[in-house]
Structure 1
Amino acid sequence: MPWPDLPPGVRLPPHVYVPGKNARHPEDWFDPIKASVTPDIPSDELHRTAAFQTGLAYLRAGYFWECHEVLEAVWMQTSDPGPEREMVQALIQLANARLKLLMGKPRAARRLCDMVTAHLSRCAPHERVMGMGIEEVKIQLTTVHMDAKNAI
């Protein structure tokens, strides 16, 4: 799946945050990234923001809590209802499922996988949403679902 690299000037956080296992990042760490999302950006252009691109890069790099943190800013600017909102929510829940696996909670990860499936089902199957094909996300979802199933 073609995941974008980090946008210019954006770096990875100093560590992967796993609740209950290590310290959270400073509260303002993600503010400059989230600031790339402004109310004047149409929903169908939000995938071009540093926040969206960073969220995908964090997801790819295993920074799942951090992915959720920056993608939430994108989600809050999507139209409701709308395919962009569904796609961003699917990506957030995919990151959450991966985080639950890191936390040793495979049942919670499986429930989140079901939520991802539901969000994706509300997008047209052959349409590109947020610059991505639905099948691209489904491939990632299958991997997470299998990891959760094997962990139980």
Structure 2
Amino acid sequence: MAPDLRLQSVFPLPEARHLPGLNDRPEEGPVLAAAALARQAFDPEAWSDSAAYLYGFDLLAGGFFWEAHEVWEPAWMRCLPNSLQRKVLQGLIQGVNAGLKSVIERPKAARRLLHLAAVCFEEAGGGRLILGVEPGLAAAALRSLAREAEGTEIDRLVSCCNCLQPRGIIMH
């Protein structure tokens, strides 16, 4: 992703993506710093001001799926149980997990995760933005990807999915 299109300016993109089982897990860097920030300070009501939450979208667009999961999981944990925000974050996390499975050439698992992500978005409902995402549109887009994607292209399609990008924010 070009620097002028990033959603936040605090955290740089990593130099390389982590692929569990194929390379070493990073022990430091911007992803872990963003995850620590989300763990301490993510407020679902102020999502558009959260550099860590927005960084997850930058990571997603750059194909850094494991990294996006690492940043969004602590934000997910700060949401109230059974809340719509938690469902949306769970859908985003399952979506990036699908991208990761695609990269490591597990397309069947990637499709299953796309369906799980769609269910999370469907449970959040449609017709309104939640954390900047319209859950109904995201669910429909992911179900379509799961039906139509061939082989390992799921990762590219997930990275580019406009329905998995937040709306209602000012670009930095």
Which TM-score band applies after superposition, normalised by the shorter structure? Answer: 0.7 to 0.9
Q: Give the 3 Å change call, closer, same or farther, for CA 69–19 of structure 1 in structure 2.
A: same
- The question of whether the paired residues in 1 share the 8 Å contact of 2:39 and 2:74 is answered with no
User: Residue 22 of structure 1: CA displacement?
Assistant: 2.4
Identical-residue share of aligned pairs (%): 27
Give SS of 2:22's match: coil
Give the alignment's TM-score, normalised by structure 2. 0.74
- Please give the alpha-carbon distance, in whole angstroms, between the structure 2 residues aligned to 1:48 and 1:65: 23
Q: CA deviation at 1:107?
A: 1.1
For residues 2-151 of structure 1, the aligned pairs below 5 Å read 5-27=6-28, 29-37=30-38, 42-138=43-139, 141-142=142-143, 144-145=145-146, 146-147=148-149, 150-151=150-151
Contact 1:93 1:112 in 2 (8 A): yes
Greater helix content: 2
Asked whether the 8 Å contact 1:44–1:84 carries over to 2, the reply is no
Question: Please, which moves more after superposition, 24-33 or 92-101?
Answer: 24-33
Find the aligned partners of 2:27 and 2:62 in 1 and give their Cα distance.
20
State how far apart, in whole Å, the 2-side matches of 1:85 and 1:44 are: 12
Instruction: List runs of 5+ in structure 2 lacking aligned partners.
Output: 153-172
Deviations 1:59-91 (A, max 9, x none): 111000000000011101111111100000100
Q: What CA RMSD, in Å, does the superposition of the two structures yield over aligned residues? A: 2.4
Instruction: Give how far 1:42 is off.
Output: 4.0
| Structure 1 residues not aligned, in runs of 5+ | none
Distance 1:116 1:27, change over 3 A: same
Q: Select between 50-59 and 131-140 the one with higher mean Cα deviation.
A: 131-140
Distance 1:99 1:40, change over 3 A: closer
- Aligned equivalents of 1:50 and 1:112: distance in 2? 26
Q: How many residues are treated as equivalent by the alignment? A: 147
Q: Work out whether residues 97 and 144 of structure 1, in 8 Å CA contact, stay in contact via their aligned partners in 2.
A: no
